[in-house]
Chain A
Amino acid sequence: MRFRTVTSPHILGETSVGRIMRRVLYAMVPGIAALVWFFGWGVLVNLSLASGIALLAEAAILAVRNKPLALYLNDYSAVVTAWLLAVALPPLAPWWLTVIGVLAAIVVAKHLYGGLGYNPFNPAMIGYVVLLISFPREMSTWPIPHGIDQAHAMTLWETLQAVFSGVQPARFAPDALTGATPLDVLRTQLGLGLTVTEVRNSPVFGIVAGSGWEWAALGFLAGGLWLVYTKAAAWQIPAGMLGTLAVISTIFYGIDPQRYAPPWFHLWSGAAIFGAFFIATDPVTASTTPRGRLIYGAGIGLLVYLIRGFGGYPDGVAFAVLLMNIAAPTIDLYTRPRVFGAHRE
Chain B
Amino acid sequence: MSQSYREILKNGVWTQNTGFVALLGLCPLLATSNSVVNGLGLGLATTLVLLLSNVAISLIRNLVRPEVRIPVFVMVIACVVTAVELAMHAFLPGLYTVLGIFIPLIVTNCCVIGRAEAFAFKNGVAKSAVDGMATGLGFTLALVLLGALREILGQGTLFGQAELLFGEAGRGLTLHVLDDYRGFLLAILPPGAFIGLGCLIAIKNVLDAHAKRRAAAKPAVALQEVQA
Contact = CB atoms under 8 A, between A and B. Distances in A.
Same complex origin of A and B: yes
B13 to A, nearest CB: 27
Contacts of A108: 195
B207 to A, nearest CB: 17
Interface string B180-205: 00101111010100010000000000
Interface in A149-184: none
A338 B182 CA distance: 54
B195 A133 contact: no
A197 interface: no
A134 B195 contact: no
Contacts of A135: 182, 185
A216 to B, nearest CB: 28
Question: Interface SS of chain B: helix, strand, loop or mixed?
Answer: helix
Contacts of A100: 184
Interface in A189-206: none
Interface residues of B, number: 8
A142 to B, nearest CB: 19
A130 interface: yes
Question: Interface SS of chain A: helix, strand, loop or mixed?
Answer: helix
Contacts of A136: 185
Interface in A91-141: 100, 108, 130, 133-136
A134 B185 CA distance: 4
Interface string B26-61: 000000000000000000000000000000000000
Contacts of B185: 133-136
A78 B135 CA distance: 44
Nearest to B187: A134
Nearest to B202: A112
Nearest to B191: A133
Interface in B152-197: 182, 184-187, 189, 191, 195
Q: Name, among B182, B186, B189, B195, the residue most crowded by chain A CB atoms within 10 Å (CB to CB).
A: B186
Contacts of B186: 130, 133-134
A108 to B, nearest CB: 7
A135 B182 CA distance: 9
A134 B183 CA distance: 8
Contacts of B195: 108
Contacts of A133: 185-186, 189, 191
A100 B186 CA distance: 12
Q: Name, among A108, A130, A136, the residue most crowded by chain B CB atoms within 10 Å (CB to CB).
A: A130
A135 to B, nearest CB: 7
Interface string A319-336: 000000000000000000
Interface string B6-41: 000000000000000000000000000000000000
A130 B185 CA distance: 9
Q: Name, among A108, A133, A134, A135, the residue most crowded by chain B CB atoms within 10 Å (CB to CB).
A: A134
A194 B189 CA distance: 34
A136 B195 CA distance: 20
Interface string B116-153: 00000000000000000000000000000000000000
Contacts of B191: 133
B183 to A, nearest CB: 8
Contacts of B184: 100, 134
Nearest to A130: B186
A335 B34 CA distance: 42
B22 to A, nearest CB: 23
Nearest to A138: B182
Nearest to B186: A134
A260 B122 CA distance: 67
A136 B182 CA distance: 12
A100 B185 CA distance: 13
A133 B183 CA distance: 12
Interface string A49-86: 00000000000000000000000000000000000000
A134 B186 CA distance: 5
Nearest to A104: B186
A245 B13 CA distance: 53
A165 to B, nearest CB: 15
A135 B186 CA distance: 9
A66 to B, nearest CB: 15
A130 B184 CA distance: 9
Nearest to A112: B198
A212 to B, nearest CB: 29
Nearest to B182: A135
A100 B183 CA distance: 13
A241 B191 CA distance: 27
Nearest to B195: A108
B97 to A, nearest CB: 26
A100 B195 CA distance: 15
14 contacts: A100-B184, A108-B195, A130-B186, A133-B185, A133-B186, A133-B189, A133-B191, A134-B184, A134-B185, A134-B186, A134-B187, A135-B182, A135-B185, A136-B185
Given A108-B195, A133-B189, A134-B186, 11 more contacts: A100-B184, A130-B186, A133-B185, A133-B186, A133-B191, A134-B184, A134-B185, A134-B187, A135-B182, A135-B185, A136-B185
Q: Which 5 A-B pairs have the closest CB atoms?
A: A134-B185, A134-B186, A134-B184, A133-B186, A130-B186
